[in-house]
Amino acid sequence: MIKLIVGLGNPGRQYEKTRHNAGFLFLDELVSKFGCDWVNEPRFQGVLSEYNASIGKVVLLKPETFMNRSGQSVGKIVRYYKIMPEEILVVHDELDLDVGAIRLKKGGGHAGHNGLKDIIAHLGSREFFRLRIGVGRPVTGKVVADYVLTSPSKSEWELINLAIDAGIACMDKLVTGDVAAVMNKLHA
């Protein structure tokens, strides 16, 4: 059962439409779908929203700490709400998936993703769920940081938006703990 959904990204207009903000974009769509509002919460170093799922309240968080310090915000909210790592879903961009692919997994390493690395450090655990939105890898010779901080092409955006829609369509099953059904649907 999921009690907290964290979308990873960087605050600020210059980052809004970049590959690295796939997690923020996902949560913005989710909030729009459920008719929720974002509230700035300085004590959690982020913006929060919540929606009532069939299991109860689910907290949504966009850390305002910038990607590499996402764990600070996540750690604060987890301690406040007494949320266990296995009750957390982190939505993020994934270089190791083709553009527009979407996959769910539990646990694992950070694969060089600094946002995940910081969350793992602050939680002291890797046992949270990850909803990974594929943004593909840069061409050989291009710096990864430059790649993830630029906007995808129009055709790539269409694929990323389809992935976001597919993930949102599975949220009810995911927050209630039907992980196998979500994996079957997203990984097909």
Give the mean pLDDT of 68-83.
97
pLDDT tens per residue, range 121-147? 999 999 999 999 999 999 998 899 999
The set of long-range contacts for 27-32, using a CB threshold of 8 Å and a minimum separation of 24, is 27/60, 27/61, 27/62, 27/91, 29/164, 29/165, 29/168, 30/5, 30/60, 30/168, 30/171, 31/60
User: pTM of the predicted model, to two decimals?
Assistant: 0.97
61 against 111, higher pLDDT: 61
Convert the pLDDT of each residue in 22-60 to its tens digit.
999 999 999 999 889 999 999 999 999 998 887 889 999
The whole-number pLDDT of residue 51 equals 85
pLDDT at 2: 95
Count of residues in the chain: 188
User: Does domain 4-187 match CATH 1.10.10.10?
Assistant: no
Is the confidence at residue 178, as pLDDT, over 90? yes
Give the C-alpha separation, 11 to 8, whole Å: 10
Confidence of residue 66 (pLDDT cuts 50, 70, 90): very high
Measured between alpha carbons, how far is 75 from 111 in angstroms, rounded to an integer? 20
Residue 54 confidence (pLDDT)? 79
Residue 20 designated active-site: yes
Maximum pairwise Cα distance, the chain: 48
Residue 188 is predicted with a pLDDT of 84
Enumerate the domain spans of the chain.
4-187
At 93 the pLDDT is 98
| Cβ atoms of 45 and 37 closer than 8 Å | no
Which band of pLDDT confidence, cut at 50, 70 and 90, is reported for residue 166? Answer: very high
Annotated catalytic residue within 20, 92, 113, 122: 20
Mean pLDDT rounded to a whole number for the chain: 95
Taking alpha carbons only, the member of 70, 69, 48 closest to residue 3 is 48
Residue 57 — φ and ψ, nearest 5°?
Answer: -70, 135
pLDDT > 90: percent of the chain: 91
| Contact call for residues 165 and 123 (beta carbons, < 8 A) | no
According to the model, what pLDDT value does residue 174 have?
93
